[in-house]
Every structure is written in C-alpha cells, then in structure tokens.
Amino acid sequence: MVQATTCEYPGDGSPARPVDPPQTTDVPNAGTVAVTLHMTAGDVVITMDRAKAPCTINSFVSLAQQGYFDDTDCHRLVDQGIFILQCGDPTATGTGGPGYVMAEELEHTSEYPAGTVAMAKRQQPGTTGGQFFLVWADTPLPPEYTVFGTMDQAGLDVVGGIAAQGVAAEDGMSPIAEAHISSVTLG
C-alpha cells in the first residue's frame, strides 16, 4: 500500500525562474529519497525522509527535476553564532522564490546539528519557498525551520571547505569561496 498525503502550495508572486508548482495530491509520505547537489567544490548528497517533511520534499524534488536549482550560487554564508550556507535562490539575492510558498513541517527542535539541511523562510509562518540552508557546524536556531534532510560526511566536508574560506567583506554575507550549484540530480 502506498502511503500519501495532500499538500498546499499557495501562490506567492512571480517565480525567480519559470517552474510549475508541485503536485498537491498523492504526495508520498514514506520512504527516503536522495538528491545530489553537484557543486563546483564537490558533490553534496542529501538524504531526505519523506515521513518527516513530505510536502517540503515533494516541492524540493519537483524544483530539482525542473532545473530550478541548476546553475545557481549559494548567496549567504554565516560563520558566527550560526553556521549555515544558504542556497536555492536563482537570483542569488536572498529574495527569489519559486512563485509559491508552503507551511513549515516542524520538529520543534532548537538544535540543528552539523549535516542538517533545512528550509529558509521569511519572518512570518507559512513562507517557506525554495531557499534552503546547509548546516556545517552545530547551530542553535528557533524551532521554526523545516528540517528535511541530512548531508553525508563527504558533503559536510565540501560545505565546510567553502565555509572555511570565510565571508566576503564587501557585503558580510557572500561566501568568499565559489559556492556554485551546477545541477541537482535525484539519487
């Protein structure tokens, strides 16, 4: 028997890159799926558990299959207090989204251990879109971000290597190292 759920993806402005919203019915909510971020610095494999965040994973997989993340730069690196590399905005400005939002699927944890992959959002609830962040060292954050996957050690090493080169002085947020995603593939 296939387990499935229903998701909602309300419209939210124009997409940063043309994409269709994901399916909303018969969304798998069991099993795992893996994606590989093919980055200039190396591959980052993310394993996602559909039981924990089925609607988020459905969206992420849909965007990956449509090439939404291809040829994009991770636009934000934080290396003080919290330790994240934020990606998923084709405009690399921090303001681009897929043209829809979704509700957060929360675990109510304030600990985001190294290797965690979670969705970014705006201040208000229900504003998760296409941006996500890779946690490269244990990070305390409020329990308001959807955790939807984990990186393997090789991926963590790639992200840690990018982070080790620091943040650009010009804007205090761009990674100095090239943090470019050439493509994202399933598996």
- What does the pLDDT look like over 56-73, one tens digit per residue? 999 999 999 999 999 999
Domain ranges in the chain are: 28-186
The CATH number of 28-186 is which of 2.10.109.10, 3.90.550.10, 2.40.100.10, 3.40.50.300?
2.40.100.10
Kind of pairing between the strands at 111-112 and 139-140: antiparallel
Query: For residue 137, which amino acid is it?
Result: A
Q: Are 119 and 102 in contact (CB under 8 A)?
A: no
Whole-prediction pTM value? 0.95
Residue 28 has pLDDT above 90, yes or no: yes
Please tell me the predicted confidence (pLDDT) of residue 2: 61
Question: Between these two residues, 104 and 4, which has the higher pLDDT value?
Answer: 104
Q: Are 94 and 75 in contact (CB under 8 A)?
A: yes
Helix-strand-coil split of the chain, %, nearest 5: 15, 35, 55
Q: Where does residue 122 rank: exposed (0-12), middle (13-18), buried (19+ CB within 10 A)?
A: middle
The DSSP letter of residue 157 is H
Q: What mean pLDDT do residues 3-31 have?
A: 95
> Of 27, 23, 89, whose CA–CA distance to 53 is shortest?
27
Residue 1 has pLDDT above 70, yes or no: no
